[in-house]
Structure 1
């Protein structure tokens, strides 16, 4: 009986020893699995590169013709000639319209004849003035008449010239407002003329950017009619005054528009490029902010990561400038930083 109890005790001890060994083995397997998982953290990495980084200011602008006028009738008369085809390009000096100028031509001819006769009389009085002192007063009077007639003739010739309406610059005609043969009053708009080979764009920016903007800086504009197509130009003028209510300054840009795709009056989305320089640039997703500091994870040759503090500078959507803490060519984690800690081995997904 004692021998049976002894064997039973040894059997229980061996069973307990086996059970403890099994528990230890299972614990080691679990720890090994966890370590494997830690060593197999999938992240995305990228190299630190030196790239161009520009800072831009966005604004809404309005298209303005480089030169734009209304062609109007200078006086009340019948319109005897009209050369207006809507949208037609005309050259500088080309005749657009003529008003009935019969009376003006007659007036010029009349004054020309009067001036000729008065000039002959003036010449005779000049000859008399050399021999008779009394003739000097008559000479002065005749000289005044000649001067007066010359002035009247200049005015009449100018009025005659204005009866023919010409294009003062090369441009495109707008819509016709009158018909040939119509009697028009002085000041009646005949049509418009726009120089659209270059389009000006007027937009405003906040006063805090005033010290940075300068004539010649590049701009680009887009319009809903053309989707994402960008039209390039540059700043041509900066207003000398700020709006006292909005505290903004008006900027004019000039854009080449030979295709005539852009039109005066268009609403334009303007991007003003303030600066463009080479910097070390990384994705914003690589940053791990802690209080007022910024950190990134650097990948070493063994695919282990180390947390490192960096100093950041200018930001643009999606990107941030690195002032210090990284060098060109360093490999950093740009996706999955929240899963990491120093010393962890990573598995790269993409790059």
Structure 2
């Protein structure tokens, strides 16, 4: 009897324990579920999508005048007139300087008179040669005199023209280097002349982009002197040779400069627009570099973050192009990547 009562007591105790455990599990299941939910890592995510991407290459360039010369003297003499107003815009053939040309003018007048007289004598000898055969030698001699005098006259006229210095093209005069009345020797620099309406922008591009470069491509340039301002132009010429040391090609672009804001010698940041395409782009914060590879965490349907290798393309401000490894519609972690591992359970912020 005692043994039966003992067994009954044990059965009742086991039953009560099971009932209490059931009630406990029923009461605690919402809390346990919340706890499990709280154990997931909070992250921000982004859905990968196609968007417009401007492919471009950047470089540093130097501004050059479209045309630029040093105005120099070709002969030696005193400077009698100087028409240089620094910073003045002048047209082609504008008189810049005049050297003393009294001697040259007198010599031109002398030779002109001599030539005129010799031509009259030549006409008389020609008439004489028609009737007298012996006059042929006189005719040859007179023709030689005329040609010699003509050559001397042309030489003096050329020297006379060198005494007058004019602008070879329209442009802006630089700083004056001489004063009126000074004796100048051949090769003395008077000033500079620059055509600044167009700026020739010189820059170098890596060999990798050579096949994509073409004349007429759009170019954007900026300078620290004008923050926020973009100067637009286009490629004019591409060098036929590459630099064997840097493996880069030299490019010239023309940039309109109607306000004369750009000056020769300025350093400019240059970007060449190569193409505009539709490409996959994500926030650069999603990229996890590991050795020489790049990864992202892709969120699957069970809210697990799966580490996935990707190949990167062009980088923009805050964005990076994805060449392979992702598809449009994939969801990637962009904040919280340092707190998770591949397979980690995540909770999206705001969900």
Task: Report the TM range for the smaller structure's normalisation.
Answer: 0.7 to 0.9
SS of residue paired to 1:224: coil
Partner of 1:37: 38
- 1:12-45 deviation digits (Å, cap 9, x = unpaired): 8798568645753575244311344378955243
Partner of 1:225: 225
Runs of 5+ in structure 1 lacking a partner? none
Partner of 2:61: 61
Shift of 1:344: 7.1
- Call closer, same or farther: CA 1:59–1:306 in 2, change over 3 Å: closer
Task: Tell me, in whole angstroms, the C-alpha distance in 1 between the residues paired with 2:323 and 2:241.
Answer: 37
Partner of 2:145: 145
CA contact (8 A) 1:45 1:335 kept: yes
- Call closer, same or farther: CA 1:61–1:181 in 2, change over 3 Å: same
CA contact (8 A) 2:294 2:311 kept: no
Q: How does 1:117-266 map to 2 (within 5 A)?
A: 117-266=117-266
Task: Tell me, in whole angstroms, the C-alpha distance in 1 between the residues paired with 2:247 and 2:288.
Answer: 37
Matched, 1:50 2:51: yes
Q: What is the TM-score normalised by the length of structure 1?
A: 0.82
Q: What is the CA RMSD across the aligned residues, in angstroms?
A: 3.8
Runs of 5+ in structure 2 lacking a partner? none
Deviates more, 1:183-192 or 1:217-226: 217-226
Task: Tell me, in whole angstroms, the C-alpha distance in 1 between the residues paired with 2:104 and 2:11.
Answer: 140
Partner of 1:332: 331
Task: Tell me, in whole angstroms, the C-alpha distance in 2 between the residues paired with 1:245 and 1:347.
Answer: 51
Q: How does 1:303-322 map to 2 (within 5 A)?
A: 314-317=313-316, 318-321=319-322
SS of residue paired to 1:34: helix
Shift of 1:60: 2.1
CA contact (8 A) 2:307 2:342 kept: no
Q: How many residues align?
A: 342
CA contact (8 A) 2:283 2:334 kept: no
SS of residue paired to 2:244: coil
Task: Tell me, in whole angstroms, the C-alpha distance in 2 between the residues paired with 1:133 and 1:349.
Answer: 120
- Call closer, same or farther: CA 1:68–1:246 in 2, change over 3 Å: same
Shift of 1:82: 0.9
Deviates more, 1:57-66 or 1:283-292: 283-292
CA contact (8 A) 2:42 2:336 kept: no
CA contact (8 A) 1:310 1:326 kept: no
CA contact (8 A) 1:220 1:230 kept: yes
CA contact (8 A) 2:43 2:334 kept: no
Task: Tell me, in whole angstroms, the C-alpha distance in 2 between the residues paired with 1:130 and 1:173.
Answer: 61
Deviates more, 1:121-130 or 1:18-27: 18-27
Partner of 2:271: 271
- Call closer, same or farther: CA 1:112–1:220 in 2, change over 3 Å: same
